[in-house]
Amino acid sequence: MFNCSLNIRRLNPSHTLSPLPIPTTHKPKSRPNQPPIRSMSSTIQQQQQLQSDVGFLSLKPYHPPSWASKLNPIPSHSFNLGHFPTPVHRWNLPNLPKDTEVWLKRDDLSGMQLSGNKVRKLEFLLADAVAQGADCIITIGGIQSNHCRATAVAAKYLNLDCFLILRTSKLLVEKDPGLTGNLLVERLVGAHIDLVSKEEYSRIGSLTLTNLLKEKLIKEGRKPYVIPVGGSNSLGTWGYIEAIREIEHQSQKGTIKTSFDDIISACGSGGTVAGLSIASWLSDLKAKVTAYCVCDDPDYFYDYVQGLLDGLEAGVKSRDIVKIENAKGLGYAMSSAEELKFVKEIAETTGVILDPVYSGKAAYGMMKDMAQNPTKWEGRKILFIHTGGLLGLFDKNDEMASLVGKWRRMELDESIPRVDGTGKMF
């Protein structure tokens, strides 16, 4: 048991910190910055107005691919939150093994502030939240969580308040977390931020932390819906089951017409990998799925993915349909100088910017294995899933500074005459 006197530090949209005792045994006093409680009728009216628009943000009935029809349960609806299908193109990586092709699935282009792999999961999770009559969303993650940022934006699109529990260091947990990267977007859209230390997170766990906040909000008259870390539960897994249908269409009937031997992705919470692996196994794609985990270890994720598969009654062992490799390096969201140099070199060579936490580590692990075991990869066609996370790079400014250059003061002689052009600035 944990100590119920734990204080979670709350950061409200006005950027002030105040202690938040959770749980309480009495009805909490109202706070000036607390958002008004929406009536159920007004929430439904707002959702119906959104649904009346065809296309983006519309709620639509969901019909699974025929090869996934025996999975259970099957979602009834999903929101249209992302710009799909995302592009697939050849990735001109240097120093590939003989006759090896690497293609890139650009899920980093699924949107702007609402981008990356989390969007696919949120399409199903938020449809369920609305169906249950929720008026606010709770989720949890690291201080630069891409998932939390995407959830905050998507919730606001659907007129839902968002409460985020963010994990940070014990030295910073009492301080304003700032406006870097994902935090800036979260705070711009008015997300309510509760800070916990890494030690508190480890001791108590994400499930208990989100449940504490859920109980408090219920006592305040709210109707919260909890989304787990990374949106990775069995319902969220449908996001990447649907992605495989998209890839299957692109490779068989689209413009690329390429069959893939391998699908490679980063693994941070397990839902993306669970969806990719079960769908590739069930569909005609039959590509070998390899995941590079950026936290915990492969055994943890084999077990976690197994739980997601069991929740869908998939009837298959995770170890039979996915290979999970360790790419954690120094630790979650911690980058070595060599990894950051790799991210810089790939950007400069190919124009593709990888995030340092997920796809950057996965691509680094893939290229390292190709260099060490080239015959293993020779002649294979590989689809790498770019899961987004560009905003996470802004948290690495200081570490990246020594890697970037190519600037100088332009040399200009004072005798050079002025010639007017278009767009005068002065």
Residue 122 · residue 228 · CB < 8 Å: no
Report phi then psi at 68, rounded to 5: -110, 5
Amino acid at 358: Y
| Backbone phi and psi for residue 292, each to the nearest 5 degrees, phi listed first | -105, 110
d(CA 217, CA 163): 10
Beta strands per DSSP E along 147-231: 161-168, 192-197, 224-226
Q: Can you tell me whether residue 291 is helix, strand or coil?
A: strand
Closest CA to 229 of 280, 274, 271, 189: 271
Residue 163: strand, helix, or coil: strand
Determine the Cα–Cα distance for residues 340 and 346; give it in Å rounded to an integer: 10
Note if the bond before 94 is cis, omega within 30 degrees: no
Indicate the SS3 state at residue 314.
coil
Q: Catalytic residue among 78, 115, 145, 269, which?
A: 145
Catalytic site residue 145? Answer: yes
Between CA 51 and CA 251 the distance in angstroms is: 31
Among 202, 194, 279, 268, residue whose Cα is nearest residue 232? 268
Active site residues: 145
